[in-house]
Amino acid sequence: MLPKTAHHDARSPPPSTWNTALTRLFSLLCLYSRCFLSPRLPTVPIMSAAPLQPSFDDLGTSLSEVTFCVVDLETTGTSEGSQITEIGAVKVCGGRVEGEFQTLVCPTGSIPASVQVLTGITDVMVRSAPSLNAVLPSWSEFSRSTALVAHNARFDIGFLQRAYAQHDYPWDDPAVVDTLALARSVLARGEVRNYKLSTLSRLFHTTTTPSHRALADARATVDVLHGLIDRVGNLGVTTLEDLLEMTHRVPQARRRRRVWAKDLPERSGVYWFCLDKPAPAHPEVLYVGKSVNIRRRVSQYFTASETRRRMDEMVRIATGVKARECSTQLEAGVRELRLIDAHQPRYNRRSRRQGSVWWVTLTHEAHPRLAVVQRAHRDSQPPWGPFTSRQAATRAAIILAEAFGLRQCSGAMSRHPDGCPLAEMGRCSAPCLDPHIDYSTIVGFARLAMTDDVRDLTDRLAQRIARLSAAERFEEAAEFTEDAQEVLRATRRRSRLVSLASCPEIVAARRDGASWEIHVIRHGRLAGAGRCRLGTDPMPVIDAVCATAETVSASPAGLPACTIEEAELVASWFEEPGVRLVDVIGEWSWPAHCWMDTNDLAARVAALHHPGHNESDEADSQDRQARPQLAQV
């Protein structure tokens, strides 16, 4: 029940399983792969089916549907030890008053004389008033499921939170709108001399004059709130979330550009900020991004939540923002990569050098060696890699060459009677010294490790790590272990990309909420995307997406017909839970032994340190006998 001094309006409404190691590796690889870029290829727009409208939860709560509880407190002082003497509140929704709450509260001590003069509330007035513990139940019922509003909310809401804590009432953490902070953010400098409630009351011509009594001040705050909402309406503030963002301090020049987001779609897609000067017909693209809700994401660039200096500078010099809807998040990610690659936006840091990748190939010579290149030859098999830098590719090539004894000299082979220093150290098979050596077999085993089977390579890397550890060269062993893992990852990455590129077409789907995401991949490139609602026949939509999908030709070198970054983004989508294959043209498979994880490498090193015979050793022995072997160089 409400206290007898309370007034309550009667119209107020009532209140597929992977093993642990491989899963971890895939997660790391997906993050790691975003660092790899690839040569630019021509981009052709993806034909997409119409995307589904997102749920209303993504759009925010419209201000016309929010029930605000505007509250004001009178207290015995301003310190945390002070007590509440009066609570006044007005509940409004859509501009209509739905209820009022007012009650005096009896404090445990006396009210200071200065406060009695300011508020007019005396000890005699509160002597018969209910205690705070008796008032809180009715107040909690009145303010339930509302957004609290207060002028200088830190003061009023702080007292309420402490009162709830002292009397063991749960605080539901409601949304809080501070009209003081909102006024500071919205009103122009010089429009008012200060932001006191009495000053704002005169500015907005409130029907009630503030008098340092709780209900009167709450009524005045209601009119101030409505006046401030009218001011921000032309800035595209239509939801409670937008209004809360406006309470943060943001430069007015940036705040005014919030209207750019007003007409953007509230769906998944890509957006880009542009600069029309000096050529409006060919604007410069400054920044490209993607989001599940374009309008909401772009709006954040004009609020205090955006703290990056680069983005603040970008928003200040931009002259507009454009967007394009996408059917799926994968399509949005691919479009983002293609736009960045095509326009090279100066404010994007990632994905600008998609052509800066390095590969390792075997040369076409009588005695082949490993070469580091940026582009694969048309007549060669797919190269080994990719690597993020020339240094990384060179280091991997050296490790692979030393593991199998491939020559590393460039040009003509040395005619020195003792060979090169690498031969003297046992790191080169030295075909220059022994013309009868079966160098082609050595090359064959190296090629096998680069393309299909890394088991023998793993054994050789483990032996070197074990030798370094046995010699107590632990730092070198640790560094070489990291390099060895990178070498093993290269074969897996190559297999991942080549297998995807070898298929003329893959059609796959994944459930996303109340619909199916449908993607058409051709030679590793996303060629089409669409959506189909659950409960409907998906085949007409799939046929339409396939019919309108981009025509893609195979890459001459056997690599994906797109940038490596795009291909790995597509491959990561295939590895997400719930993806179902609809149709595959070609053979999509990986070599069975193209990868050895960190645990396998560690186990082989440990076995060399503790050479005991057990079942696992016997299994390893049988495994080694079942595959081709090359004598250790």
Active site residues: 212
Q: Helix 20-33 and helix 474-501: axis angle, to 10°?
A: 80
310-313: long-range contacts, CB 8 A cutoff, minimum separation 24: 310/347, 311/287, 311/347, 312/254, 313/347
Query: Beta-carbon neighbour count of residue 150 at 10 Å?
Result: 27
In total, the chain counts a number of residues equal to 633
Residue 386 dihedral angles phi and psi, to the nearest 5°: -90, 170
Region of 82 on the Ramachandran plot (φ > 0 left; ψ -120 to 50 alpha; else beta): beta
* Residue 606, token pair as written in the block: 């440990």
What is the Rg, in whole angstroms, of the alpha carbon atoms belonging to the chain? Answer: 35
- Name the nearest CA neighbour of 288 among 318, 254, 316: 318
* Residue 338, token pair as written in the block: 């293609």
- Name the nearest CA neighbour of 528 among 514, 540, 543: 543
Measure the CA–CA gap between 128 and 142, rounded to whole angstroms. 22
Sign of the Cα torsion 590, 591, 593, 594 reads negative
3-class state of residue 569 by DSSP:
helix
3-class state of residue 435 by DSSP:
coil
Please answer whether residues 286 and 275 qualify as being in contact, where contact means their C-beta atoms are separated by less than 8 angstroms: yes
Q: Which residues pair with 531 in a beta bridge?
A: 517
3-class state of residue 41 by DSSP:
coil
Measure the CA–CA gap between 191 and 302, rounded to whole angstroms. 22
Q: Which residues contact 525 (CB under 8 A, 6 or more apart)?
A: 550, 552, 560, 561, 562, 566, 567, 570
Measure the CA–CA gap between 555 and 377, rounded to whole angstroms. 11
Please answer whether residues 508 and 581 qualify as being in contact, where contact means their C-beta atoms are separated by less than 8 angstroms: yes
Query: Beta-carbon neighbour count of residue 229 at 10 Å?
Result: 19
Continuous H helices in 521-592: 539-548, 564-574
Task: Give the amino acid at 182.
Answer: L
Measure the CA–CA gap between 1 and 137, rounded to whole angstroms. 8
Measure the CA–CA gap between 308 and 289, rounded to whole angstroms. 15
Give Cα 429 distance to the centre of its chain: 49
Beta 505-512 vs 384-387: how paired, if at all? unpaired
Measure the CA–CA gap between 1 and 630, rounded to whole angstroms. 89
Sheet holding 515-522, edge to edge: 47-48, 525-533, 515-522, 505-512, 579-585
Measure the CA–CA gap between 448 and 234, rounded to whole angstroms. 66
Measure the CA–CA gap between 73 and 159, rounded to whole angstroms. 8
Task: Give the amino acid at 198.
Answer: S
Task: Give the amino acid at 100.
Answer: E
- Name the nearest CA neighbour of 46 among 633, 535, 472, 521: 521
- Name the nearest CA neighbour of 216 among 31, 347, 86, 76: 86
